[in-house]
Structure 1
Amino acid sequence: MIDTHAHIYAKEFDEDRDAVVQRALEQGISKILLPNIDLESIEPMLKTEAAYPEVCHSMMGLHPCYVNADVKETLAIIHSWFEKHNFIAVGEIGIDLYWDKTFKAEQEMAFITQLNWAKEMKLPVVIHTRDSIEETLSLLKQEQDGSLSGVFHCFGGSVDEAKAINDLGFHLGLGGVSTFKNGGMDKIIPHLDMDYLILETDCPYLAPVPHRGKRNEPAYTQLVAQRVADLREISLADVDAITTANAMKLFGV
């Protein structure tokens, strides 16, 4: 299995990162993909990748929640990193209007800018969207020239939204929310196109049941997989095989 979205470089793992990676490997998680969020996360992310080079693979991007008035300068620094290191994707990027709409215009500019980097470098994108699915899909439709690929990470939307995302050639990242009793995903997951599903944790956030409310970690990817298997009435091995193949093809790992 592949955890396609994990922040194991975060300070929450500083005390036991080795043990966290070992537990993931013991659960059959062979790869852990690391999305960047801002300028401060670059160094710990690359250090984590260097410590586990066979397991961890880094992305580079600016998360919408870290977009502010200095966005142009920040994007210039983020972009410069692509010349210094091989990244598997542009991410995590997107639009988040949940907490604050102050920098909505800047978020949209940053999103479009980074989508264009992905087109130039022929890399997939990892999209974060919160309270912004319509805005995100509209901009993506505008920018999709047939060369963009990627994933809407932490998908928790409707079947219609899933179809709109798939129609643009994009995958859906399923994580801990899929296991929440009040998350509504039990009605959605049976109707999703398996060819576009990949698994993730978004750790240390959004731990799946029965660990909800505690620190999440890559080993729990299997709990998400089991939930998908149960809802689809297929085997865990099938979910593993399909989502792993999808992730390998999308990210080239």
Structure 2
Amino acid sequence: MIITDTHTHLYSEAFDEDRHETIERAIAANVTRFFIPAIDSTYTESMLQLEEDFPENVHLMMGLHPTHVKENYKEELAHVEEMLAKRKFVAIGEIGIDLYWDKTTLGIQQDAFRHQIKLAKKYKLPIVIHCRDAFNEIFEILEEEKDDTLFGIFHCFTGTLEQAHQAISYNMKLGIGGVVTFKNGKIDQFLNQIDLKHIVLETDSPYLAPKPYRGKRNESSYIVKVLEKIAAIYEVTEEEVAAITTENSKEIFSL
């Protein structure tokens, strides 16, 4: 059984004390494919080091995270472009809009999101979307940009069934993580109305640990709890969920 974690920040400071042990734990649990989203230029070096240490398992994205879209965002976007021109990445991400922390940056977040979608189209790469309190704003831009070259993952999907169908209509897979195990997560109530071919697994570690680890540091090995929950929701085996969601990840990332 191969399990794919399509979204994990393994370069995070949260893993500085035991990064290699954390990854080895995940590999021992059959989690052998790790897709690593970018945040901003300050993490690029540690991302590249992670790939160097685990070249068979780690696959890097490049992008500017919406919560890190600040006054210097054009310099950060220039760094994204420079890195894309220099070497291969598997996706542009994570990108999007976050209105939970700061609504005053909406304008520049929208600008950065549009710009990075265009970069994804230029390099024929998927996008990995971060959306928090911003479904309408995200969908507005996806509606503008939709065509055969727009595709990717709606990371950490926590919307309604209607919003799920809308995201899928833009050629997006739904990234399902620890929230599906939460009592108040809600997505478990309708997820089985969505074909498994539209779903990928993720942890978003070190954030959003699933039950029974909720509130603790998340890590990629905990994706097994997400897998168990989804298998129960769809009433299929864990092996089937792992196989289908890994195949879906291969479709998106082309590897």
Measured against the shorter chain, the TM-score band is: over 0.9
Output the amino acid matched with 1:190.
Answer: N
The partner residue of 2:44 within 42, 55, 69 is 42
Q: Which residue of structure 1 aligns with residue 59 of structure 2?
A: 57
The SS at the match of 1:25 is helix
Written as runs of structure 1 = structure 2, the 5 A alignment for 1:12-161 is: 12-161=14-163
Written as runs of structure 1 = structure 2, the 5 A alignment for 1:148-227 is: 148-227=150-229
User: Post-superposition shift, 1:195?
Assistant: 1.0
Please identify, of 76-85 and 171-180, the stretch whose mean Cα deviation from structure 2 is larger: 76-85
Distance in 1 (CA, whole Å) between partners of 2:69 and 2:190 is 31
Written as runs of structure 1 = structure 2, the 5 A alignment for 1:218-237 is: 218-237=220-239
Distance in 2 (CA, whole Å) between partners of 1:94 and 1:188 is 24
Output the amino acid matched with 1:113.
Answer: H
Q: Which residue of structure 1 aligns with residue 248 of structure 2?
A: 246
Computed over aligned residues only, the root mean square deviation of the Cα atoms, in angstroms, reads: 0.8
Asked whether the 8 Å contact 1:69–1:103 carries over to 2, the reply is no
The SS at the match of 1:40 is helix
The SS at the match of 1:30 is strand
User: Post-superposition shift, 1:138?
Assistant: 1.1
Q: TM-score, normalised by structure 2?
A: 0.97
Output the amino acid matched with 2:156.
Answer: C
User: Post-superposition shift, 1:188?
Assistant: 2.1
Distance in 2 (CA, whole Å) between partners of 1:77 and 1:24 is 31
Distance in 2 (CA, whole Å) between partners of 1:186 and 1:10 is 28
The SS at the match of 2:97 is strand
Structure 1 alignment gaps of length 5 or more: none
Distance in 1 (CA, whole Å) between partners of 2:211 and 2:188 is 13
User: Post-superposition shift, 1:143?
Assistant: 0.7
Please identify, of 78-87 and 125-134, the stretch whose mean Cα deviation from structure 2 is larger: 78-87
Distance in 1 (CA, whole Å) between partners of 2:65 and 2:11 is 15
The SS at the match of 2:103 is coil
The SS at the match of 2:8 is coil
The SS at the match of 1:122 is coil
The SS at the match of 1:129 is strand
User: Post-superposition shift, 1:219?
Assistant: 0.6
Distance in 2 (CA, whole Å) between partners of 1:92 and 1:186 is 24
Distance in 1 (CA, whole Å) between partners of 2:245 and 2:81 is 30
Distance in 2 (CA, whole Å) between partners of 1:228 and 1:72 is 40
The SS at the match of 2:7 is coil
The SS at the match of 2:95 is strand
Distance in 2 (CA, whole Å) between partners of 1:49 and 1:145 is 32
**C-alpha offsets along residues 154-189 of structure 1, whole Å, 9 cap, x if unaligned?**
011111000001111111000000100111122121
Structure 2 alignment gaps of length 5 or more: none
The SS at the match of 2:216 is coil
How many pairs align?
A: 253
**C-alpha offsets along residues 191-212 of structure 1, whole Å, 9 cap, x if unaligned?**
1221110000000000000000
Distance in 2 (CA, whole Å) between partners of 1:18 and 1:66 is 27
Runs of 4+ in 1 over 4 A off after TM superposition: none
Output the amino acid matched with 2:213.
Answer: H
**C-alpha offsets along residues 25-50 of structure 1, whole Å, 9 cap, x if unaligned?**
11111101100011111111111111
The SS at the match of 1:250 is helix
User: Post-superposition shift, 1:136?
Assistant: 0.2
